[in-house]
A and B are shown apart, each in its own frame.
Chain A
């Protein structure tokens, strides 16, 4: 186990180094420098600059410094815990990152809080009774909700719950302070997709377990059905869904881009979107580090959970 953690962490650091170098290399191009100039002065403003004035402008903004010195400087400051300053939003990247991560964490917390019990219960229920009307209904609904893209779900929910019934605000900008009502639409949008997915996976695992020899043996030797399900079936059936739940942490980080941008929720996804739009390199770099960290971290957690639940792969 200790070995695994060391391996994963080393892997993470290497990925971070490679990705940040790649990003820096992409942003070192003339094309990006022009993008930065256009972002600041506008297409019409840049058009008024002569070539030498343009280069002077780049010099003033520190965009003309040699690649290695800029990368080295960035690396040094990151090692000192300094993530730099957002060019677009004029605040420290660490503050921006902290705030938006906290907002996304709130969203993610509620997603998991509702998704895990609901989808495991439904999935197990469907898997236990494979082929029954209950299974059919649950499966069809699950396939339906996963097959609608989130952007469509978001529009549908806005029209019905926000504009039609007027129960919840249409956008989640929360200009008057934090409110759970404003969180409802992004939450539902994420949940509809994620629950559907997890229900299908749980159902598949449960069906497979229910068809196995040892369950038949357990039923035949006269154990109460309840005990068969809870003691024998669930423990094995839940291995896959539980590892998936941890991986979902990572999946959520990319899903929130669509949902947060659509609902104008000030989370990690929107920050990433804005930074990409404006070529805000310091923010992009920091966001990438976080994304790599979450990706590798969730993998590690998922591995650990797998090992814990499945004695067959437990390390000596």
Chain B
């Protein structure tokens, strides 16, 4: 029996970076269940291809930089999944791959991989795709019309307006609220299953992988703006209902703004950050050119996070009062 030296601590708490990423990945996979049941294997193929693109880009960049390749943290897979979830199902498969390449090669790796990214890579990738190919990004097939969806080929689908686009045009979406809860409406692939997203959010908050206060203040800000300044002529409650359930607002509130790397570090800071992102997303919806500005809102809020941090860390007392021995 030969004994080795080992450095303390010899136990770890169960949460590690890879386990946190596993939790997020699991939650994102749950989002795929409803689309797979409704539309066949294409959602799975799309998610798989995007994750593969992310992994390949990360390996390539590591090779160019002659760094050790570390995929074990799983952050690139999460980035790939989030990008795939924000794409329409009828988009050609190269679109999420292009977004993934931008996310990894421009927004993640040059800054020094996980832990050092100033902007959420997935948000950057989606914003890039929205700016370059708005037509492909914002045309959704009609789930009400039964049509065959091939697993991986491009296809021309019967298109329809998503509720977010209808709201943008100042009209009231013609969808039953129950259908919206179950995700049977035109929208990004993973962002339509409202109930599933809420369940995933609850799972992540209970596992303490994501922080609830960002999501809460984000949703509160969006709700208040939707209630007091509705875009369509309807009661405040109806406006709140359609604003929160359309587009990718709820998905962003659970999976994108809660990213701990790009969020501020103090409780008050996180509340401010969430409210700011919620305000921005509503402003993008009202004044922006696209029907959805979630990715842009997240990027601008990311840019504000260090400022919020330094503001609060500078003025507030750090740590709590200590007793003397």
Partners in one complex: no
Q: Which residues of A contact B (CB under 8 A)?
A: none
